[in-house]
Structure 1
Amino acid sequence: MTTSERVLTGERADLAQTLTLHRGFLRQTVQGLTDEQAATRSTVSELCLGGLVKHVATVEERWARFMVGGEEAMQAEPLDWQNAFRMTEGETLSGLLDRYAEVAARTDELIGTLDLDTAWPLPQAPWFEAGATWSARRVLLHLIAETAQHAGHADILRESIDGAKTMG
């Protein structure tokens, strides 16, 4: 039985619904854009809308692996930091959104099945407290915050492209 067939209740439902809401804001922000618009750096920032979709999908995918297998699983695939926030040759907005939907479906399955108390030590990084451990629950809260933050960034970028506003 998949999460979409399972009825989530309580904490799991709250986590899933909130993450879905913020994913939806991000998807809504890029609706109707051409690939050229999605790849446009519309502010002085290096960010573009397609790059934000790509980044959020990559981050969610990596944290989902962390929830299952810790740092080793999270870092099992190399990360292209140089191109993490931009659309590269051959990438399309449609393709990036499809990948994001696939990642979201796998994360949603974890929300419905994983013991939310499963915890792993965080990777060593200056932005993490040394020796800290995060539960799957804490990772999901982080994903919600990350997705919401980037949906807000996307709204600013979209407004600077064509004046459209998702959240205003």
Structure 2
Amino acid sequence: MAIDQDTTPDPTQAPAAPAGERADLLEVLAKHRHFLRFTTRDLTDEQAGLRTTDSELCLGGLIKHVTAAERNWADFIVDGPSVMGDFTAMTEADWARRADEFRMLPGETLAGVLADYAEVARRTDELVATLPDLGATQPLPKAPWFQAETEWSARRVLMHIIAETAQHAGHADIVRESLDGAKSMG
């Protein structure tokens, strides 16, 4: 005689940690997030907003940009291209607001920027763990840098988030080394 087993999740138990491909994606993303955040260790708000090279980049701005990009792409996975808008219709004011992602604005703090990044990371990690299908696709938003009529899977979007984070962690390392000689590695 078979005994019926209760399959109702126990709300007092933490959900199982992701395994396989999802665990791999989360591990690589966590590594690059760590290196990006590490570049801001022991800095003041003022230092986090300093441009130390010929570029417009500062450490706080890089983290703000990566935060906004990760938030937008995670929202894209769930809700599609409408959350990102039509880049071909952006006005000069829209581009100016987007440029503010790359700098510390008056009243912003490094602690606040890092807290926002941590919250976005938590939401993305939860999405990776719970998304029913990493192969589900969405059409890309209209933008001059995307091929028209192209779709990306959630998996492809997550790889893009990882690449974006890694690329900007490298930028941040250069900015930090130019600031005070500190390096993430070496």
State the TM-score, normalized to the length of structure 2: 0.85
Q: Distance in 2 between matches of 1:19 and 1:74?
A: 22
1:6 match: secondary structure: coil
Q: What is the alpha-carbon distance in structure 1 between the residues aligned to residue 24 and residue 47 of structure 2? A: 34
Q: Show structure 2 runs of 5+ residues with no match.
A: 1-10, 86-93
Corresponding residue for residue 152 of structure 1: 170
Q: Deviations over 1:16-69 (max 9, x none)?
A: 110011000001111111111100000010000000010000000000000001
User: Secondary structure of 1:20's partner?
Assistant: helix
Equivalent residue number for residue 91 of structure 1? 108
Answering whether residue 122 of structure 2 is matched by residue 105 of structure 1, we say yes
Identity of aligned residues (%): 61
Deviation at 1:5, TM superposition (A): 4.2
| 2-structure distance, mates of 1:13, 1:99 | 23
Aligned residues: 165
1:1-168 equivalences in 2 (<5 Å): 5-75=15-85, 80-114=97-131, 115-168=133-186
Runs of 4+ in 1 over 2 A off after TM superposition: none
Shift in Å, 1:72: 1.1
Any idea what SS the aligned residue of 1:30 has?
coil
Could you give the per-residue CA deviations for residues 69-125 of structure 1, whole angstroms, max 9, x where no partner exists? 1011334xx882131100001000000000000000000000001121121000111
- Runs of at least 5 residues in structure 1 that lack an aligned partner in the other structure: none
State whether residues 84 and 141 of structure 2, in contact with CA within 8 Å, keep that contact through their aligned partners in structure 1.
no
Larger Rg: 2
In 1, the alpha carbon distance for the partners of 2:43 and 2:169 equals 15
Distance (whole Å) between structure 2 residues aligned to residue 82 and residue 126 of structure 1: 17
User: Whole-Å Cα distance in 1 between the matches of residues 152 and 57 of structure 2?
Assistant: 28
TM-score for both structures, normalised by structure 1: 0.93
Between the aligned partners of 1:104 and 1:84, the Cα distance in structure 2 is 17
